[in-house]
Every structure is written in structure tokens, then in C-alpha cells.
Amino acid sequence: MAALTDPCWAANTIFVAEINGALVGIDMSGPASGEEWTRDLHVLYVLAKHDGTDVGTALLNSA
């Protein structure tokens, strides 16, 4: 994770989703690249076995 300590990532936010202590999803967003948006979503990953469980929706709502 050393790369995430680089100052170029300082304005980004990372959220993780856990179920029973196990990591099942992650997202990273940062400042908007245009005036019409609030934030830019850079990454959204959810483990395949959790597809359809609203983990991705919860992560999007956090970003």
C-alpha cells in the first residue's frame, strides 16, 4: 500500500465493505474532473460471490 501514501492520492477517499470481518468490496473516489460532477469514481470492486447483495450500491452511496 505504499503507493497510496503518495501525495498525489491525498484528495482521494477509499471505502471498504466487510461482511463478518472479511473484505468483500472496495471503492476509491476523488475530486471531480469537471464542474458538473461532485466526485469521480476511480475504482469499484466487489467479489463475484457478493454480486446482487447491494455491496456495490452501499459502496457507491459511501463515495
Residues 20-58: tens digit of each pLDDT: 999 999 999 999 988 888 889 999 999 999 999 999 999
Half-sphere exposure in the Cβ direction for 43 (13 Å, CA): 12
**pTM metric for this prediction:** 0.78
Bridge partners for 31 per DSSP: 39
- pLDDT category at 7 given cuts 50, 70, 90 is confident
For position 2, what pLDDT does the model report?
Answer: 52
Q: Residue ranges of the domains in the chain?
A: 2-62
The CATH fold of domain 2-62: Aminopeptidase (3.40.630)
